Amino acid sequence: MAGRFGILDEEKVFKDPVHRYIHVRDELIWELIGTREFQRLRRVRQLGTTYLTFHGAEHTRFNHSLGVYEIMRRMIENMEKKEPLWDPEERLVCLSAALLHDIGHGPFSHSFEKVFHTDHEEWTREIILGDTEVNRVLSGMGADFPKKVADVIAKTYTNKLVVSLISSQIDADRMDYLLRDAFYTGVSYGQFDMERILRVMRPTEDQAVFKISGMHAVEDYIMSRYQMYWQVYFHPVTRSAEVILSKILHRAKELYEKGYEFQDKPKHFSSLFAGKMTLEDYLKLDESVILYYFQEWQEEKDPILQDLCCRFMDRRLFKYIECDPSVQMEIWPELNQLFTKIGLEPNYYLVIDSSSDLPYDFYRPGEEEERLPIHLLKPNGDLRELSRESDIVEAISGKKRTDHKLYFPKDLLEDKSKFAEEKQRILELLMAQEG
């Protein structure tokens, strides 16, 4: 591939607690890492509010992006050695896409996207194709190179194998975040033998498949994904923090729309609230900016915004009960009425959180599905879907995987200095639901 970048005189390495070393030989990759848009990822945590549950989870999108790049580099190295199906022209497209796949993520992006209906993938595309340092570096490889990288990340690139390496049921992105999130949260169940998986990976026209001799390593990966899903990503305390975070953003937006006079004008949010956010505005938003406002808003006059910000900053989170909305609907009108009566706005203080509100999933084999399942390659060349060969995967596939939790400020309900009777009734209703 023609371009102004070549190979570095001396290989650069990053020490990394998950992969030990991250190796950079290409000038292109080195230049991309140095761009301001990529450096911004140092200020965006990988797991959002999870640090409030697992205090070690302070790792950032920067670490993860380097990790995905490193896994992709090793995948390519393995395939280049022995696979005629691999097209060496795609190497730098793959490496760049792996490195930049999360470049559009903002601070606490999951809650942000829910509240403001933005999409980090659109920002990713804009950063790669717009007037940015990243675009200028990528364009050094040729005018159409940025578009190729953006298409891989958007999954619309014509070479489906390349797309599958970064985005499929078993890809560089998932492998890095499972290992990394397990390492930083300190949990023991996120481990699997990635080296073995890479060794048994074989490219086909549409996706990478795995030699059946490596099935147990793939099983381990699936189990790890399953465990991390329920134990870390869906942790009810983290979800409580996300609920409060979302409600802070909702409240600030609502106040802005009503013309409320903030003591400290939220200038970083103005274009977002007005629905006119530019790329430059977006790039200025990082977690330090968000937390600055949350700190300031603890002293706002609006009691809801003030209370929610204090809760977030002091980790005074909402409590929860398991919830079945099909049963809860019977008591919902009474609960709403009681919350309103005691001065707690139900929209902010009585919140159902569902599993579909979260951005993670675990493996399910194909039914009438749109996503390719994991395929094992048998010695005779036949392909078999993983759960048809593995009893372990079969056992955890297709099981019930939805849940709902009802979050509320139990501390305020237990303070019986005012509205004691109503609060007692609320607690009775809630506890009766829990059984």
Which residue among 34, 186, 303, 325 contacts another protein (CB under 8 A)? 325
383 binds another protein (CB under 8 A): no
Which residue among 89, 314, 370, 391 contacts another protein (CB under 8 A)? 370
Select the span of 59-67, 78-86, 223-231, 352-360 touching another protein (CB under 8 A).
352-360
CB neighbour list of residue 48: distance below 8 Å, 6 or more residues apart? 108, 109, 110, 111, 238, 242, 245
Distances from the Cα of 275 to the Cαs of 116, 272, 297, 365, in angstroms? Answer: 8, 5, 22, 39
**Continuous H helices in 285-390:** 287-297, 303-314, 325-328, 332-341, 346-349, 386-389
Which residue among 43, 211, 268, 404 contacts another protein (CB under 8 A)? 404
Which residue among 8, 154, 289, 427 contacts another protein (CB under 8 A)? 154
Closest distance of CB 218 from another protein, Å: 21
**Residues 1, 412: Cα–Cα separation, whole Å:** 64
Residue 250 in tokens: 């909702």
Contact 197, 217 (CB under 8 A): yes
**Residues 346, 331: Cα–Cα separation, whole Å:** 14
Which residue among 2, 89, 326, 417 contacts another protein (CB under 8 A)? 326
205 binds another protein (CB under 8 A): no
Which residue among 4, 36, 136, 155 contacts another protein (CB under 8 A)? 155
87 binds another protein (CB under 8 A): no
CB neighbour list of residue 319: distance below 8 Å, 6 or more residues apart? 240, 407, 408, 409, 410
Distances from the Cα of 52 to the Cαs of 106, 334, 404, in angstroms? Answer: 18, 32, 21
Report the residue number, 273 or 332, with the smaller CB distance to another protein.
Answer: 332
380 binds another protein (CB under 8 A): no
Closest distance of CB 326 from another protein, Å: 4
Q: Around Cβ 40, how many Cβ atoms within 10 Å?
A: 22
Report the residue number, 289 or 372, with the smaller CB distance to another protein.
Answer: 372
Buried b (16+ CB within 10 A) or exposed e, 273-282: beeebeeeeb
Count residues contacting another protein (CB under 8 A)?
Answer: 33
Which residue among 143, 329, 399, 435 contacts another protein (CB under 8 A)? 329
Closest distance of CB 33 from another protein, Å: 26
H/E element holding 375? strand 375-377
Select the span of 19-27, 136-144, 209-217, 397-405 touching another protein (CB under 8 A).
397-405
Report the residue number, 287 or 357, with the smaller CB distance to another protein.
Answer: 357
Residues that bind another protein (CB under 8 A): 113-114, 117, 119, 121, 154-156, 158, 324-326, 328-329, 332-333, 352, 354-356, 359, 361, 366-372, 400-402, 404
